[in-house]
Amino acid sequence: MIGNAIAAFIGHKIDASDGEGGTLGAVAGVAAWKVAKTVVPALLVFGAIAYGIHRFANSETAI
């Protein structure tokens, strides 16, 4: 919950920096936060798997 509030505040400030309203920025900030909470861990897992496959494929003592 606090993460959503922080993301909304940051999005609002970014959107309000041009002199207009910041409601759309707040919504975009919360949406970006929710996507990042899901996508970043998945990217880390897939990156670790890809690294393991690459490391195993290039090892000279493969099973």
Total domains in the fold of the chain: 1
Confirm whether 42 is domain-assigned: yes
Confirm whether 63 is domain-assigned: no
Distances (CA, A) of 29 to 2, 14, 21, 40, 54: 13, 9, 14, 16, 36
Q: Bigger pLDDT: 49 or 59?
A: 49
Give every CB contact of residue 9 below 8 A, 6+ residues apart in sequence.
26, 29
Residue 54 to residue 48: CA distance in whole angstroms: 10
Confirm whether 62 is domain-assigned: no
pLDDT at site 45: 96
Domain that holds residue 50: 2-57
At 62, the pLDDT band (50, 70, 90 cuts) reads low
User: Over 70: is that where the pLDDT of 21 sits?
Assistant: no
User: Over 70: is that where the pLDDT of 51 sits?
Assistant: yes
Q: pLDDT tens for residues 27-43?
A: 888 999 999 999 999 99
At 59, the pLDDT band (50, 70, 90 cuts) reads confident
